[in-house]
Amino acid sequence: MRRVGVEEEFLIVDNASGHAVPLGELLDRLSEDDGLSSEMKQEQIETCTPPRTSLNELAQDITARRMSADATARAVGARSVALATSPLPVQSTATPGLRYQKMIQRFGLTAIEQLTCGCHVHVEVESDEEGVAVLDRIRVWLPALVALTANSPFWNATDSGYASYRSQAWNRWPTAGPCEIFGSAEAYHSQVQEILDAGVLLDKGQIYFDARLSHHHPTVEVRVADVCLFADDAVLLAALVRGLVETAAREWRSGIPPVAFSAAKLRLASWQAGRFGLDGDLLDPSTGRPRRAFDVAMALLCHIEPVLREQREFDLVESLLLQVMTRGNGAARQHATFALGGSFCDVVADAVQVSNLPATLFRGVSGSALLAADSLS
């Protein structure tokens, strides 16, 4: 079974007002040894789990890292919260360092306004050749992951109209978004080098493809998701990505070619997913035509079912997926909270509580739950 690891980015907010605040003096205390690190903006903190094969262990790690990030924030009267954008107005503060200063100078308002929190999933691969074959085959399913994890409907005290406005803000970077089919590791590395030779980016770290080969680990890194409001959804995301990677690797070895969707069509699919989340149609990965979000989610589950059953994870992943389809993603929770109280402060306060709850990993969802989820779609 392939190992999987999760990186999550969190907002740091004032415990009383809910406004994003910089960590400031705590930056020097962060270290990779305890799974915490700083990000481009001081109003963020990043966590990283060890690579795991067991989803239960991964759930424990995700919970522990969330608690650690929150404890770090509490030390300065703040809280850590799993929101992919700030519902309240914010003027973010760049983290000290030459690279971040250069990014702001080069990319202007895109970098200045870039206070978004994502969730990146790493799954190990045996070689770059296998990794690129995986990238070519999972790309059509990534918009569905955007919809499932959407958790950024508000942007600076405005309802953006999107379930995932983070995806819109993030795609302003010059290399962000879907790629065409590469075909080989040689072609992948050639394209990366061609981009770097153009002199637009500062370094290789700014290759922001939706999914890429990691620069530091023998993994495929999937980067499309908002940070998940619920810890359970982060576990689900990791399980789905690992299932996609293993399924894709097997297809490659069996000579099954990737689905020939253009990057332009995938960009449409990603926009649709970011705009509506689970509340509208998604583009079907097999046809490119609109289809209910519930049906696309079930098609994703069906696509990776053989791998999940072999790894004895199907029941767990199915229950976590149905849980999302029943209660909604983070965007739905934020909208519901705002509708009840009419305050962005209420949204942040609720998110602080929810995002710091432990992963529960509900098992044994009944057929009635399936019907309930279907009725909400």
Amino acid residing at 332: A
Q: Is 313 in contact with 239 (CB distance < 8 Å)?
A: yes
1 Cβ contact partners less than 8 Å away, ≥ 6 residues apart = 53, 311
Per residue in 298-319, pLDDT tens?
999 999 999 999 999 999 999 9
Return mean pLDDT, the chain.
92
More confident residue, 377 or 189: 189
Q: Is 161 left (phi over 0), alpha (psi -120 to 50) or beta?
A: left
Say what the pLDDT of residue 369 is.
Answer: 34
Which of 121, 133, 118 lies closest to 4 in space, CA to CA?
Answer: 121
Both tokens of residue 200? 């637009």
Say what the pLDDT of residue 290 is.
Answer: 97
Q: How far apart are the first and last CA of the chain?
A: 33
The Cα 335–Cα 189 span in angstroms is: 42
Helix (H, G, I), strand (E, B) or coil at 262: coil
Amino acid residing at 84: A
pLDDT confidence tier of residue 28, bands split at 50, 70 and 90: low
User: How many angstroms separate the Cα of 123 from the Cα of each of 51, 164, 201, 245?
Assistant: 8, 24, 26, 7
Q: Which fold has domain 4-376?
A: Creatine Kinase; Chain A, domain 2 (3.30.590)
Helix (H, G, I), strand (E, B) or coil at 119: strand
pLDDT confidence tier of residue 218, bands split at 50, 70 and 90: very high
What is the full DSSP assignment across 19-35?
A: -B---GGGGGG--GGGT
Alpha helix positions (H), the chain: 55-74, 98-107, 109-112, 128-138, 142-149, 165-170, 185-197, 231-253, 263-276, 293-310, 314-327, 330-341, 344-355, 367-376
The stretch 122-135 carries a mean pLDDT of: 98
**Running DSSP on this structure, what letter comes out for residue 308?**
H
The stretch 23-44 carries a mean pLDDT of: 76
**pTM of the predicted structure, to 2 decimals:** 0.94
Amino acid residing at 184: S
